[in-house]
Amino acid sequence: MDGRLAELLLRISGLIKRYFLPGDSEVSFNYLRYIYQVAEINDNRVLVNKISSIRADKMVEVSKLVHVYKFESKYSLAPYRFFLNRPNGQI
């Protein structure tokens, strides 16, 4: 079920224990691909790092962090966009 529909259903039903907060800043994979393509066209730098974190139940989660940098001058980079790709697919 879509996150917005699930949130609406849970708000109407009034079950506070199951209140759903969607990732409002979540973007689609197509948008991330578009940003990547524009960055390559404009000769920007794209870096991808893997981040490992340990959850409370001792499970290890591996997330990906996507950095997009623009050239400020011939020798320096400025941060442009950052995206975090979580193991559940949320970007």
Q: What is the pLDDT of residues 56-83, one digit of tens each?
A: 888 888 888 888 898 888 888 888 888 8
Any domain includes 69: yes
Residue 53's domain comprises 26-85
State CA 50 to chain mean position distance: 13
In the numeric block, which tokens belong to residue 39? 């960055």
Any domain includes 91: no
The yes-or-no verdict on residue 91 having pLDDT over 70 is yes
Domain total of the chain? 1
Dihedral (CA of 11, 12, 18, 20) sign: negative
Any domain includes 45: yes
CA dihedral 38, 40, 45, 51 (to 10 degrees): 80
pLDDT score, position 23: 57
